[in-house]
Amino acid sequence: MKNAESLKPDDGSSVPNRRSLFSLAGLFILMALICVFAGLEGLADEGLSLVSYAFASALLFMGVGSILVARGFWTTNDFARWTGIVFLGDLAVVTLLLVAADS
């Protein structure tokens, strides 16, 4: 039978493996650079370039957030909360820019 401690849900205050978090941060930052270069190379029209830059900023934030969790400055709950806020902010900005470009 399992220990009652191991059956408790994670409250988000634990820090996952630091090596995997640094690897995840590197992956997010690499994906952000790919999005920036895709937007710079003109692989898409103006609207898709804006979306590419929005994803780049969100991915860059996720990379920095992963480093903050790995270093112990943030909990996993902080990371999830701020990542959601950044994604919603990026979505709002891109939507406003696309609407302004169409009118």
All residue ranges of the chain with pLDDT < 50 are: 1
Longest dimension (CA), the chain: 65
Whole-number Å distance between alpha carbons of 50 and 47: 5
Tokens standing for 51?
A: 């979306």
pLDDT given for residue 14 in this prediction: 58
Contact 29, 63 (CB under 8 A): yes
Whole-number Å distance between alpha carbons of 74 and 36: 27
pLDDT given for residue 16 in this prediction: 63
pLDDT given for residue 35 in this prediction: 77
pLDDT given for residue 2 in this prediction: 53
Whole-number Å distance between alpha carbons of 68 and 72: 6
Q: Is the pTM of this model over 0.75?
A: no
